[in-house]
Structure 1
Amino acid sequence: MPDLASGRAKVAVFVSGKGTNMAALLYASRLPGAAYEIVLVAANDPEAEALTLAKAEGVATFALAHKGMTRADHDAAMERAATDAGAQYIVLAGYMRILTPAFVSRWAGRMLNIHPSLLPEYPGLDTHARAIAAGDSHAGATVHLVTEELDAGETLGQVKVAIWPTDTPEKLANRVRVAEHQLYPRVLSEYVSRGNDPQWLLERVRELALALPQTHERESHGSAGFRVGTEKSGKFFAYFSDQHHGTPHISLLVKCSSMDELEGLVEAQPQAYHKPAYYGASGWIGVILNRPGVDWDDVADWLERSWRRVAPRNIAKLLDAADAF
């Protein structure tokens, strides 16, 4: 999520060569209203041209040749540089290294890459030659999340580029690269902004809430609410609150075990919890969603706890039976 103090997410970019995508990301980050800032450009080649550009633009750099180092040790040094710079996301921009599974796991959901094909078509190398040989009408580029499997992470955005009858891999690559420079900054901006997007947050809450047995959604006082039981007699166990009653929070309202728990959590973790107007007096707590580092497993736990507080006993047994397996 973007850093709430500056309003922008902090991004480290890993490169190996010229860094044209890095340059596109950097200059886009300096446009008005940009959702991210580049706090570090790091390379596995101290001679990478991208470092020269970054230094000229006043961006912090880090370089460490990987030759003679284990993959894990080199990854650890690159990761340390990113975290020391305060990076919340790592973006790969022509970084020609396969990362260790442990490194990828630690940055799951916070590491992006761009690939010069319309994934899942043509993962790996020689994408343009393969697309031409297959007689495809279009090539393109894909921004995706990085996972342990090469070029297999969730697709975040794509752009198509027409293949001309006279194309060579080199000619096609030049046009795809221009398209990449338009795609990558836009997708990165959208991705790091999701944590402040009420619609995206509601979709996450909705998915978790409706996964509980015999639940349904019903609007209440202009907000999405979630009930357990029948349409006629169901009881609310959660509400989605989008800055209602003058608060700056987008939050999930759920039932606490007691007012003591509510007051204790709000006092100890004001960045994560608040006492909502009207609802707070009845023992509902606000779990703040538009903040860095939201633990969605914890959100799911809150939903289940609140669901259990109002669910009829015969329905609650369904969840108990599922948990037993």
Structure 2
Amino acid sequence: MTGRAKVAVLISGRGSNMAALLYASRLPDCPFEIVLVASDKADAAGLKLAEAEGVATFAAPAGLKRAELFATLDGALRASGAEFLALAGFMRILPYDFVTRWNGRIVNIHPSLLPKYKGLDTHARALDARDLVAGCSVHIVTAELDDGPVLGQVEVAVLPSDTPDSLAARVLIAEHQLYPRALAAFVMRDRTPEAKLARVRDLAMALPGAEETTSHGMACFRVAGGKMYCYFTEDHHGDGITAVIVKTSGPDEQAQLIDQDPDIYYRPAYFGPSGWVGLKLHHDIDWDRVEDRIAASWSLVAPRKLAMLREF
């Protein structure tokens, strides 16, 4: 499977959830691959497993202060090309600035049915509360501890004879089942044509006077019942391309864009001779670039009174 999402995993110990993600990534239909296993501890057992499986590893040097540690980890993660981070027994609270840099792209697995029992000692707390079920949750990481949106949960029955250790052992089995599935669904959220259209729609409809309609079998956007400035195409005429098609100032700009970045820009059928350019929506989309091109296309057709509204 090509074009899979690149995931880095942060661990502090044995890395059993990391292993579950790694082996799931070997399945032919898995939408993610593990590009790095990193740890704050050089002796983390999970690093040896990752190395044995041919996965790149990184261990932060000992003795670093907190800010230095996370700066070092961040550098290694970015060098790996990771698009998403998965925490798997990483026993450090992430600093606010680190979470901000990876905003919306970090997930964690927690051994409780959130929002119950955030933090540590989850199994003992569930037993003390005489809960009938315990379980695990995968959630998006935010600056608040164990407080991000929950992506999935699995319940585990509490047995009358349970101790924290026996309950933890069964919950861990549930974690290994849940985490790969939740991560796969998470990385695919922005990769489906429907998700890409929704993102394009948000950008196009944010412009003054924008209206959505359909033309040539495609969703498209125009200015107040007038001229079109953006089309969304998905496998149009069997070309296999998902893209936005936007206006340029003319053939010269169109050719310049394609020459500068032929992996992203292309001359679309039917629209190309009129100076329109296609912007491919690959898996690693630069949405800032897409937003800029849609806005530039809009500005070429928008009446002056609408253009003035946007200037304010």
Same fold judged by TM-score > 0.5?
yes
Task: Return the match for 2:82 from 84, 87, 104.
Answer: 87
1:164 aligns with 2:158: yes
The 3-state SS of whatever aligns with 1:45 is coil
Distance 1:85 1:228 in 2: 42
Query: What is the correspondence of 1:225-304 to structure 2 with a 5 Å cutoff?
Result: 225-229=220-224, 233-292=225-284, 294-304=285-295
Choose 143-152 or 271-280, whichever is displaced more.
143-152
1:141 aligns with 2:133: no
Tell me the amino acid that sits aligned with residue 310 of structure 1.
V
Distance 2:115 2:202 in 1: 26
Q: What's 1:186 paired with?
A: 181
Tell me the amino acid that sits aligned with residue 307 of structure 1.
W
Query: What is the TM-score with the length of structure 1 in the denominator?
Result: 0.83
Q: Deviations over 1:60-88 (max 9, x none)?
A: 3333454x321122223333333444433
- Count of matched residue positions in the alignment of Structure 1 and Structure 2: 311
The 3-state SS of whatever aligns with 1:42 is strand
Tell me the amino acid that sits aligned with residue 294 of structure 2.
L
1:60 aligns with 2:51: no
In structure 2, list runs of 5 or more residues that go unmatched: none
Task: Return the match for 2:301 from 310, 321, 324.
Answer: 310
Q: What's 1:40 paired with?
A: 36
CA drift of 1:250 comes to 1.0
CA RMSD of aligned residues (A): 2.8
Choose 79-88 or 91-100, whichever is displaced more.
79-88
CA drift of 1:93 comes to 0.5
Distance 2:270 2:64 in 1: 59
Distance 1:113 1:194 in 2: 17
Choose 112-121 or 272-281, whichever is displaced more.
112-121
Query: What is the TM-score with the length of structure 2 in the denominator?
Result: 0.86
Q: Deviations over 1:96-145 (max 9, x none)?
A: 01233333333334332222334444432333444555666654433233
Query: What is the correspondence of 1:53-132 to structure 2 with a 5 Å cutoff?
Result: 53-64=49-60, 66=62, 68-131=63-126
In 2 relative to 1, CA 136–254 (structure 1 residues): closer, same or farther, beyond 3 Å?
farther
Distance 1:287 1:239 in 2: 10
In structure 1, list runs of 5 or more residues that go unmatched: none
Q: What's 2:18 paired with?
A: 22
Distance 2:293 2:117 in 1: 42
Choose 128-137 or 303-312, whichever is displaced more.
128-137
The 3-state SS of whatever aligns with 1:238 is strand
CA drift of 1:257 comes to 2.2
Choose 262-271 or 133-142, whichever is displaced more.
133-142
Q: Deviations over 1:159-217 (max 9, x none)?
A: 23054373554444333322221221122223334454211111111222223334332
Tell me the amino acid that sits aligned with residue 243 of structure 2.
S
